[in-house]
Amino acid sequence: MNVQDKYLDWGKEVFAIEEQAVREVASSLDEHFAAAVATILDCRGRVIITGMGKSGHIGRKIAASMASTGTPTYFVHPAEAGHGDLGMIVDGDVLIALSNSGENEEILALIPAIKRKHVQLICITGKAGSSMAKHADIHLCAHVSHEACPLGLAPTSSTTAVLVLGDALTVALLRARQFTPEDFALSHPAGSLGKRLLLTVADVMHGGQEMPLVQEDTLLHQAIVTMSEKGLGMLIVVDCDGQLSGLFTDGDLRRLFQNNQQLKAWTMADVMGQAPKTIRPDRLATEALKTMQTNKVNGLVVIDEDNHPVGALNMHDLLQARIV
């Protein structure tokens, strides 16, 4: 076996060991997990997560995931809590404490003060008989048989299992709260995903002078000039009151030419498509994408509540806005 094959085998071995560790913890989930979810849902304050060392790093990630999905959560370092930051934890909060051994001195030192408050204590440890487990209102066991570290020293399988357990809590809470993509976007306004989800049709449509608008009595050969100038591959047709009558696309034009029709005397009323797909300007751009995909069209007419066109939107606009 060459050295590269050896490295590959070592890597695969870690995946196998950690996969087994996650399965072990999954099989041990019971009513205590459901009780933890219910307790967090009923929390009148905030959820605080604490942990030391590698458990602290995992705790920060769990806190970030919960906070971004509808559960107000933050991380408190247990050593700092013992020197004043415990004041950040108040009546009505839920404290989730992480420790593989369940014997972390910094966390155990906080428990007497926590017990004097109206704070629910959820402990996640690898040992059901540990001190933290005994003091917890709810204990979740994250015991694993083996660490992926061949020395059995570096937290590997154990931290992975707790991370997945934290994700399980997060997702259960997310689903119980019926958290939506729009809710997620409100927590991520600066990210590309948030911008994409919060973008409305009005933000990306072509309105005003950019709108490819013609009247029903506009001659077809004149309307083709407008279609070419606006460059959106479609024409919005309105009646004498300015209300939407129909839509004419470059695909419609190609079909007319293919059929060798006499085009010169025709007006838009003769060739437009009836009942075009429409959308309101205040709808999310993602909804516009779904409408286009569902109806297999490349353009939408943006209308107001009186059926007056206020803009035009095509698939290219959504591509530029990175909606697609």
Beta bridge partners of 284: 200
pLDDT at 90: 93
Question: Which secondary-structure segment (H or E) carries 284?
Answer: none
Residues 121 and 26 reside in one and the same domain = yes
Same domain? 243 vs 152? no
Per-residue pLDDT band for 39 (boundaries 50, 70, 90) equals very high
175 and 208: one domain?
no
Whichever domain contains 224, its CATH number is 3.10.580.10
Q: How far apart are CA 264 and CA 163, in angstroms?
A: 70
Give mean pLDDT, residues 22-48: 96
Considering the domain architecture, whether residues 161 and 282 belong to the same structural domain is answered as no
- Grade residue 180 by pLDDT with cuts at 50, 70 and 90: confident
Question: Is residue 141 domain-shared with residue 211, that is, in the same domain?
Answer: no
Chain mean pLDDT for the chain = 90
**By percentage, how much of the chain surpasses pLDDT 90?**
63
pLDDT digits (tens, 9 = 90+) for 187-235: 666 566 666 667 888 888 899 999 999 999 998 888 889 988 988 889 9
Residues 174 and 103 in one domain: yes
149, 179, 209 - which closes a domain = 179
- Domain with residue 29: its CATH number is 3.40.50.10490
Residues 160, 126 within the same domain: yes
* One domain, residues 261 and 210: yes
| C-alpha distances in Å from residue 98, one per residue of 159, 221, 274 | 10, 73, 63
Domain residue limits at 238: 201-321
Does the annotation place 77 within a ligand binding site?
yes
Q: Is the pLDDT score of 139 beyond 80?
A: yes
Do both 90 and 217 map to the same domain?
no
Same domain, 36 and 169: yes
| Residue 273: predicted pLDDT | 87
Res 34 pLDDT > 80: yes
Mean pLDDT calculated for residue range 132-160? 94
Assess if residue 193 is contained within a domain: no
Q: What is the pLDDT of residue 310?
A: 93
| Res 89: pLDDT | 93
Q: Is residue 97 part of a domain?
A: yes
Answer yes or no: is pLDDT of 321 > 80.
no
Looking at the structure of the chain, the number of domains it has is 2
Which pLDDT value is given to residue 195? 65
Domain check: are 19 and 153 in the same one?
A: yes
Instruction: Give the pTM.
Output: 0.67
Q: Residue 194: what pLDDT?
A: 65
> DSSP for 191-244?
SHHHHHHH-BHHHHSB-GGGS-EEETTSBHHHHHHHHHHH-SSEEEEE-TTS-E
* 154 and 34 in a common domain: yes
- Contacting residues for 163 by C-beta, under 8 A, at least 6 apart: 58, 61, 62
pLDDT value of residue 263: 66
Report the pLDDT value the prediction gives residue 35, as an integer from 0 to 100: 97
For residue 8, tell me if it sits in a domain: yes
Which of the four pLDDT bands, split at 50, 70 and 90, describes residue 262?
Answer: low
Give pLDDT, residue 264.
65
Q: What is the pLDDT of residue 280?
A: 94
Asked whether residue 8 carries a pLDDT value surpassing 80, the answer given is yes
